[in-house]
Structure 1
């Protein structure tokens, strides 16, 4: 079950907490994101695994979660003699921030609508409870 909003408001959060708040990403995902953000060049999954001190397969799963969330991009690098490999880099900061802002606005609008529905649904019951018919 996700943490309640009231708990989030009491906690000391930093900007990387957004990774967890918006997409439920894990601590390893955060470490991979930081490794990619700190790197001057795109990294392979093996290089990412080395930086975060995890097996390649574990690093790959974190990379996949970050890709699905839209925080990083995958690029194909072709060998001259044929074949290819993939490298990863952090997506454009503005694009990521804009997407998080859009999601927050959508969430806010949806919560506002649900609060209105709550008022309408339970206002009638409150009136009935305080003024029962005789």
Structure 2
């Protein structure tokens, strides 16, 4: 993954799903799996996702795991009548995901604002200190 600057991110055209990648660090496949879960009427198993994505079960599981870790997907246990269980996955509502992304963005903005203030404080003091020092010349 190549790191981009904030300026580069602002200059490129972002789509809705790109926000998941940008904010949660999800790759393109993860974003497609999220969209698949978002469009499904009922929860999907890992096997369902693998079949619909035409990929290995382990690949689907890795994407679902990243989506779970990002908090945009939930896991539900379904019990069999005679014992045993399996998991289904569904996306959280778009409102919940959007609210969480807004909260993360606000937290990031506050943290960056603090860093900018520290930068300004540090380097403005250094400038004042340098102005008090005698100027040395090279002869």
Same fold (TM over 0.5): yes
Query: 1:50 corresponds to which residue?
Result: 51
Root-mean-square deviation over aligned CA pairs = 1.5
2:6 aligned with 1:5: yes
What runs of 5+ residues in structure 1 fail to find an aligned partner?
Answer: none
Report the more deviating stretch, 90-99 or 7-16: 90-99
Give the superposition deviation at 1:18. 1.2
Dislocated runs of 4+, deviation >2 Å: 124-134
- 1:1-134 equivalent positions in 2, closer than 5 A: 2-129=3-130, 132-133=133-134
- Alpha-carbon separation, structure 2, partners of 1:71 and 1:32: 11
- What TM-score do you get using the length of structure 2 for normalisation? 0.89
Q: What SS does the aligned partner of 2:16 have?
A: coil
Distance in 1 (CA, whole Å) between partners of 2:85 and 2:31 is 27
> Any gaps of 5 or more consecutive residues in structure 2?
none
